Amino acid sequence: MTTSQEEFLRAVSHDLRAPLRHITSYSPLVRELIDDAAAGLPTEPRDEAQGFLNTMDQAARRMGRMLDGLLALSRVGRAPLETVALDLGTVVRDVQSALSPQAQGRPVEWTVSVQDVPMHGDAALVRQLLQELVGNALKFTSRHTAADDPARIAIKAQVRPGGGVVLQVQDNGVGFDTARGAALFGVFQRLHREGDFEGVGAGLATARAIALRHGATVAITAVPGVGCTVTVEWPAAG
């Protein structure tokens, strides 16, 4: 990402918040006015007006989340890179512990295999990358709710011949057509309907930006109805 692109993202994510706050702040006031003015009117037009307000409010809140995504992407590009030797196993366990509540009681079978894998990177950014990937795995396995059909999430890392690390996050979620997978690394790109899964489509773009800052690459493969695998090729320490 170029400097001008980073500055644009930062400006947009900040400058659009003021008018957005006005929309979300005035929406409840308009709702009260409608209730007062329509007290003696038939319920149908009043309900229709309230429905319009609900749609407007939901759209404004979604825009707020999109701005959050832009700001996160901008910060990834601007943050000083402090490369250190990482205990990847500890980072993975911390991320797993932090995100597990998102399962909301659903059964999740975790497989973690990252022991004794030497890896260098910015600790905060590597953690954020894993949060994006593991968070997606939890999100897209949300339909596995039965004890005999649990979500399955695997986090694996191994040393490549010649150095470097291959990090993978696998799940048995809804999957998608791999031919369309490259588009997911763009900002606000989604392959599923908005109502099916939460999120605005900025997570993989952020993960990719973090990887690129470290000289790493990210690829994604999937099978519809079977699951998804994200593979990060991390370079050896220079």
Q: Where are the domains of the chain?
A: 3-78, 83-234
- What are the tens digits of pLDDT across the range 125-156? 999 999 999 999 998 898 898 888 999 999 99
* pLDDT tens, position by position, 5-59: 667 666 776 677 778 888 888 888 888 877 777 666 677 777 887 888 888 888 8
Mapping DSSP to helix (H, G, I), strand (E, B) and coil, where does residue 39 land?
Answer: coil
Arithmetic mean of pLDDT over the chain: 83
Tell me the residue ranges of DSSP E strands in 107-190: 108-113, 118-122, 151-159, 165-171
pLDDT, tens digit (0-9, with 9 covering 90-100), for 151-191: 999 999 999 888 899 999 999 998 887 777 677 777 666 65
Distance CA 149, CA 169 (A): 19
User: Does residue 114 sit in helix, strand or coil?
Assistant: coil
Output the CA–CA distances (angstroms, integers) from residue 21 to 9, 26, 29, in the order listed. 18, 8, 13
Integer Cα distance of 133 and 194 in angstroms: 19
The CATH code of the domain at 83-234 is 3.30.565.10
Percent of the chain at pLDDT > 70 equals 86
pLDDT digits (tens, 9 = 90+) for 191-234: 555 655 565 567 888 899 999 999 999 999 999 989 999 999 99
Whether the CA torsion 61, 63, 67, 69 is positive or negative: it is positive
Helix (H, G, I), strand (E, B) or coil at 156: strand
Q: What is the pLDDT of residue 18?
A: 76
Instruction: Say what the pLDDT of residue 113 is.
Output: 94
What whole-number distance in Å separates Cα of residue 168 and Cα of residue 134?
A: 10
Nearest to 195 by CA among 50, 55, 25: 55
**Across-strand partners of 157?**
167
